[in-house]
Structure 1
Amino acid sequence: MEVKINGNGTYFAGIKGIGHYVPENIVTNDDLAKKINTTNEWISTKIGVKTRRIASEHEALSDIAYEASKRALANAKIKPEEIDLIILSRLDPDHLDPPTSCLVQSLLGAKNAATFDIAIGGCAGSVYSLAIATDFVKSGACRNVLAISGDVNSRNIIDWSDRQTCCFFGDGIAATVVSRIKEDKGIKSYQLKVDGSKYDVIIMPIGGSRTPITEKNVNSRERYVVMNNREVWNFATTVGPQIVKDVTAIAGKEVSELDWVIFHQANKNIIRNNMNTLGLPMEKTYTTIEKYGNTGGASVLLTLSEAVETGLVKTGDKIALAAFGAGLAWGGLYLEWCAEEDFI
């Protein structure tokens, strides 16, 4: 699916507010080395992670989503009751039913908002949720949409005895407020893609209707995410640069015009490789993998949020976002950063 945002809809859409949240608990590489066969040097060199944040036993998905959402609303300078729709992209909800977005709506006091959850391979969820939010605003159905993406990866997704997965991940979440703008600025294009033939490259084999959890398999490692790391590298280094090229071209721009490229924070070496493939210097990207690890569906928007918070992103900056994950699913989005006065 490829979409160019133009005047065929009722409105244009842009990011009015953005915020993120990571838990306070910090786990270092040395902490992991006390429990599994690894070293700080190996993790830092091979993946790029130095520390990651892990949720407390009292923090569920709704709790961290609420914190990020409050920050996004404050950044957008709007009240909870002004939100028309809440979209939550996640892997591990508070409960299988009802949707966690319903609880987030209640916690925020967003009494006028409809809600739904989406699940698209975790890591690609940031771009998918943002694209869906854009279309709801562009159509005129909504004035303000809150798009949230992230997970408590540490609880039911990661096997902390498996070096091939646990060294990568951390917990975190990000939220954006997508709102109407008065002219052709903001979010200009997106692309969403899936290759279902690679369904088992990143997979949690046990726990669904195909293979339910039973007394016999409840302690199996296959309850947690299993990755073919070589396949993931090949996938990420192929689709990552290509989707940046695609969404930039769909928007009628050149890659050389980009001010920022924000990749999914899967591996620092993948990011370096992808920037090199694009012919862009590392100064045109921003990374958070060093201190937060791979935060799954949060990572792209969390990284953008921190870049905005630190003052690096300026009005008019041309930005490409690229996310990829299980499915195999990937998505990209091109936007131009708006000023406060651009919104209506």
Structure 2
Amino acid sequence: MGIKILGSGYCVPAAKLNNKQIESIVDTTDEWIFTRTGISNRYIATTEDTTDLAYGAAKGAIESAAIDFDEIGLIIVATFTPEQLTPSTACLIQARLGISQPVIAFDMNAACTGFVYALVTAEQFLKANPIKKALVIGAEVLSKIMDWNDRSTCVLFGDGAGAAVIEYDGTPSPSFYLNCKGDEEGVLGTSKFPVNNPLYQTEITPISFHMHGAAVFKFAVTAIKETIEKLLKENQLTLEDIDLIIPHQANKRIIDKVVKDLSASSEQFFLNVSEYGNTSAASIPIALNEAMNKQIVKSGDRVMLIGFGGGLTWGGCIVSI
């Protein structure tokens, strides 16, 4: 279906934070968190940063694909929490991997839809250039922008990275659908970078994350259903033709609502949000890696990946394993 997954990998911080531990940080309970989100655990960085996690996932994906590092001609890292604005995380990954051949490397930000946007972008490079294989990574350290006093957001998110090595399979039919709607109302996002003018000093405050839960829930359900319907229609497929759907791992209740609305089987939707929380751009590739490792999907299977998040952005793609 355009993109073929050759190998996948993931990397999470060493420290795990469970719901019981969060009870000592913010006014909440294990039961409150789990019943409303389906989340039990998440991993939180201590010494690790975005590049560390991205490199771990990248190395695992390349080893899984059983290729040489120098076969990679393109590296795209989807993230909105890089450890620095420049050099890009992708350029730092190229250096750590020791790739000596010419390579294109850059970061992109589509928030929780980032990995899907990056996959589709990579597919266009693979179609148009002599590049044979690409490395696509989703990596986030969301804990550094969390307000740990806000129980409506801090209980949801975790840190981590996932990666995939891909190639173009030559299929001419469309395999993706992407969309966005500018979030001028600030439903989901971070605070703004302050202007730092030496002639007009203002107090510099840390960047923080915010979300209006009810509005995001409604948006997410609509975005997932729209993406599924568009992808199936464009490719003249039915739900029965898809071996597995891997949505962005944000909240179990979102997926439960989609399954109910579509009269679909919950078995067709892969979920691991209980163990990782919402890792934004990393959630889909982490879930993909787990599904491949557990052989829930295998060679020849057709998989639909669906993202939705800040921007507002949403969309999906159909890939082959």
TM-score category of the 2 structures, normalised to the smaller one? over 0.9
- 2:298 equivalent among 314, 321, 335: 314
Aligned equivalent of 2:180, options 194, 197, 207? 194
- For 1:258, which of 232, 242, 251 is the aligned residue? 242
Amino acid at match of 1:200: G
Q: Which residue of structure 2 aligns with residue 340 of structure 1?
A: none
Contact 2:194 2:204 in 1 (8 A): no
Within 2, Cα distance between the matches of 1:209 and 1:61?
25
Work out the CA distance in 2 between the residues paired with 1:166 and 1:143: 40
* 1:137-152 equivalent positions in 2, closer than 5 A: 137-152=126-141
Is the contact between residue 123 and residue 323 of structure 1 (CA under 8 Å) also seen in structure 2? yes
Instruction: Find the residue that maps to 2:270 and give its secondary structure.
Output: coil
Q: Any residues of structure 2 matched to 1:208-287 within 5 Å, and which?
A: 216-218=203-205, 223-287=207-271
Which range is displaced more, 134-143 or 157-166?
134-143
**With structure 1 as the length reference, what TM-score do the two structures score?**
0.87
Structure 1 residues 279 and 316, CA gap change in structure 2 (3 angstroms): farther
Find the aligned partners of 1:14 and 1:75 in 2 and give their Cα distance: 14
Write the mapping of 1:42-81 to structure 2, written as runs, cut at 5 A: 42-56=32-46, 58-81=47-70
Counterpart CA distance in 2 for 1:24 and 1:265 is 20
Q: Secondary structure of 1:277's match?
A: helix
Cα distance change of structure 1 residues 197 and 160 upon mapping to structure 2, 3 Å threshold: closer
Following superposition, the deviation at residue 198 of structure 1 comes to 4.7
SS of structure 2 residue aligned to 1:71: helix
> What CA deviation, in whole Å up to 9, does each residue of 1:251-286 have, x standing for no partner?
221123222111111100001111222221111111
Q: CA deviation at 1:315?
A: 2.3
Answering whether residue 94 of structure 2 is matched by residue 105 of structure 1, we say yes
CA distance in 2, matches of 1:210, 1:262: 42
SS in 1 for 2:112: coil
In the alignment, which residue of structure 2 is the partner of 1:114?
104
Q: 1:51-95, CA deviations, whole angstroms, 9 ceiling, x for partnerless residues?
A: 101112x21111110000001001111111111011011112121
1:27 maps to: 17
Take 1:196 and 1:188, find their aligned partners in 2: how far apart are those partners? 25
Residue of structure 2 aligned with 1:171, choices 134, 153, 159: 159
SS of 1:117's partner is strand
Q: Deviations over 1:135-191 (max 9, x none)?
A: 111223311111111201111x2111110110000001111111143x549x95101
Moved more, 228-237 or 138-147: 138-147
Change (3 A) 1:208 1:104: farther
Whether the 8 Å CA contact 2:5–2:320 is kept in 1: the answer is no
Flag the 1:197–1:96 CA change in 2: closer, same or farther, 3 A: closer
- Where 1:240 maps in the other structure, the secondary structure is helix
How far is 1:33 from its partner? 0.5
Aligned to 1:125: 114
Matched residue type, 2:276: Y
Q: Could you tell me which residue of structure 2 aligns to residue 161 of structure 1?
A: 149
Structure-2 change in CA distance of 1:124 and 1:210 (3 Å): farther
Q: CA RMSD in A?
A: 2.1
CA displacement at 1:199 relative to structure 2: 5.4
Q: Where does the alignment leave 5 or more consecutive residues of structure 2 unmatched?
A: none
SS in 2 for 1:124: helix
Distance in 2 (alpha carbons) for counterparts of 1:169 and 1:197: 20
In 2: Cα distance, 1:78 partner to 1:161 partner: 45
Contact 1:256 1:280 in 2 (8 A): no
In structure 1, what is the equivalent of residue 78 of structure 2?
Answer: 89
Percent identity (aligned): 34
Unaligned residue ranges in structure 1 (runs of 5+) = 6-11, 338-344
Contact kept, 8 Å, 2:139 with 2:162, in 1: the verdict is yes
Q: For residue 135 of structure 1, what is the aligned residue in structure 2?
A: 124
* Contact 2:223–2:315 (CA under 8 A) maintained in structure 1: no
Measured in 2, the distance between the counterparts of 1:280 and 1:62 equals 38
Q: Given that residues 244 and 321 in structure 1 are in contact (C-alpha distance below 8 angstroms), is that contact kept between their aligned partners in structure 2?
A: no
In 2, the alpha carbon distance for the partners of 1:191 and 1:208 equals 34
Counterpart pick for 2:192 among 206, 229, 232: 206
Offset of residue 215 of structure 1: 6.1
TM-score of the two chains, using structure 2 as the length reference:
0.93
Residues 1:332 and 2:316 are matched in the alignment:
yes
Q: Identify the range of structure 1 (32-41 vs 19-28) with the bigger mean alpha-carbon deviation.
A: 19-28
